[in-house]
Structure 1
Amino acid sequence: MKKRPLILVTNDDGITAPGLRTLISVMNTIGDVVVVAPDSPQSAMGHAITINSTLFLEKVKIDDGPQTEYSCSGTPADCVKLGVNEILGKKPDICVSGINHGSNSSINVIYSGTMSAALEAGIEGVPAIGFSLLNYSWGAKFEACKSFVKTITENALKEGIPKGLVLNVNIPDLPEKDIKGIKVCRQARASWKEEFDKRTNPMGREYYWLTGAFVNEDHGQDTDEWALANNYISVVPVQYDLTAHHFIQDLNTWNLND
């Protein structure tokens, strides 16, 4: 009998999040699942790690299934570090993160706890995928995601993901029949036009609430934003090497040593 792959599952919305529970159910059909997820929501934590306070792990059972589960007091990146180095003591065959409640396309990948968990797995030498659904509601429906999540994961296990890369998968919030397919894309050039809602609390102290609008500056038809707007699932290979290799030659012409 063929050995089932070992799958590490994590997220940033917390261990009880419906998106995570859906991802676990899909992964149980593929391999042996170990879950290490935050004990509370950690959205937009980016790649934060815990170094100045203690970390706690608690073995839990949230719902039925053969998976082994741990609740972690730390960030999504902490969850992956602890999962690989302490709980498993070895590298799993793949790490999947999500399914996130909300988009992680384009520039959002920089801030995402979901994708930072996947990137941390990549740094640890583990093939990894981050999955996100374009619905921020806790009550989002994930049923339409299942077959696509399974297809992408099984392909990643079969074909392999090159070292240093992870996959960023975003899924439009549509019935399965209305999703046109899966497109391999590049990350769209976009930004957030940020605004701060300034208010005063009952004690007279001013505080700020971050708001803003997403601005897509990229009109290419090969981007994740185009794919999602046209009812396709986007798959973007991303890397944690942030070197701007194309600028190295120009930078070497600067007078830096005089």
Structure 2
Amino acid sequence: MRILIANDDGYLAPGLAALVQACEGLGQLDVVAPEQNASGTSNSLTLNRPLSAFTAPNGFRYLNGTPSDCVHVALTGWLSERPDLIVTGINQGANMGDDTLYSGTVAAAMEGFLFGIPAIAFSQVHKGWAHLDAAARVARSVIEQVLATPPAESPFLLNVNIPNLPDADLRPREVTRLGRRHVSEPVIRQTNPHGDPIYWIGPPGDAREGGEGTDFHATAQGRVSITPLQVDLTDHARLPQWRRWAEGRSGA
């Protein structure tokens, strides 16, 4: 068993160290992470400059690129053998609902999934690393279950969000769907020392679709949320309408 481990918070993040420790004994581990925090970079690949690779004193490899860069370079240039599983995280903060589209943690897992490798992204619901040890136990348990009883369809892509609770590993797990958020808050406008305006992206909106069955609802109830994801963004339900629209027969 070979497991590739990545994240988006950077190679020095406590969540990465916790996930590596959680995977110890499960097989050969390869670790690759961004040099700096790369949260919110989504599935971006660095195409406008070369990437440089380094090795930390603890043996972790890190790259001056995005989370997707890390997994892509590992799979296509570093590893002599294809990994059996890719795990990412443990992220500092939730990746639920619409946030998954921006998440570097989810993107790193998705990069492996695009190469046909099963992948799991792990996140804690709240920032601050509270009860990270319990989150690591959850990650270990989920990975062990996947290895012991592989899902019928593979590869798969799972998005796991873990409440920051001391007994998170004892809490129920719920297979969920993604919720939805309200639109983001306005940007925060400031002025730099030269008097020029600068802008910070505002906070995400509150959940607007967080009912039963969603990742928002499960974690609010203290449960571990496990959401199976797919890459196909096609609006299959409305394809017939759009075909009629293209033929000039009806609006979409």
Q: In structure 2, what is the Cα distance between the partners aligned to 1:165 and 1:147?
A: 21
Query: What pairs with 1:1-258 in structure 2 (closer than 5 Å)?
Result: 5-62=1-58, 68-137=59-128, 139-161=129-151, 162-163=153-154, 165-176=156-167, 180-256=171-247
Normalized against structure 1, the TM-score is what?
0.90
Deviation at 1:196, TM superposition (A): 1.2
Q: Which runs of 5+ in 1 are unaligned?
A: 63-67
Q: In structure 2, what is the Cα distance between the partners aligned to 1:202 and 1:219?
A: 42
Alpha-carbon contact 1:93-1:157 (below 8 Å) kept: no
Q: Which runs of 5+ in 2 are unaligned?
A: none
Q: Secondary structure at the match of 1:195?
A: coil
Q: How many residues align?
A: 248
Shift in CA distance, 31/164, structure 1 to aligned 2, threshold 3 Å:
closer
Deviation at 1:236, TM superposition (A): 0.1
Structure 2 residue identity aligned to 1:202:
P
Q: Secondary structure at the match of 1:252?
A: helix
Shift in CA distance, 164/215, structure 1 to aligned 2, threshold 3 Å:
farther
Deviation at 1:39, TM superposition (A): 0.9
Alpha-carbon contact 2:41-2:66 (below 8 Å) kept: yes
Shift in CA distance, 224/177, structure 1 to aligned 2, threshold 3 Å:
closer
Shift in CA distance, 141/180, structure 1 to aligned 2, threshold 3 Å:
closer
Higher strand share: 1
Identity %: 34
Deviation at 1:119, TM superposition (A): 0.4
Q: In structure 2, what is the Cα distance between the partners aligned to 1:164 and 1:257?
A: 39
Q: In structure 1, what is the Cα distance between the partners aligned to 2:69 and 2:79?
A: 14
Q: Secondary structure at the match of 2:123?
A: strand
Q: Secondary structure at the match of 2:185?
A: strand
> What root-mean-square deviation, in Å, do the aligned CA atoms of Structure 1 and Structure 2 show?
1.9
Superposed CA offset, 1:135-176 (max 9, x none): 322x54411112211111112223335346300000011111
Superposed CA offset, 1:42-75 (max 9, x none): 000111101110111122233xxxxx52111111
- Report the counterpart of residue 65 of structure 1 in structure 2: none
Deviation at 1:208, TM superposition (A): 1.0
Q: In structure 1, what is the Cα distance between the partners aligned to 2:243 and 2:36?
A: 46
Q: In structure 2, what is the Cα distance between the partners aligned to 1:13 and 1:125?
A: 24
Q: Secondary structure at the match of 1:43?
A: coil
Alpha-carbon contact 2:11-2:33 (below 8 Å) kept: yes
Q: In structure 2, what is the Cα distance between the partners aligned to 1:102 and 1:196?
A: 20
Q: Secondary structure at the match of 1:125?
A: coil
Superposed CA offset, 1:179-231 (max 9, x none): 53111111112234321111111211011112234221224211110000000
Structure 2 residue identity aligned to 1:126:
I
Structure 2 residue identity aligned to 1:58:
F
**Worse overlay, 95-104 or 146-155:** 146-155
Q: Secondary structure at the match of 2:203?
A: strand
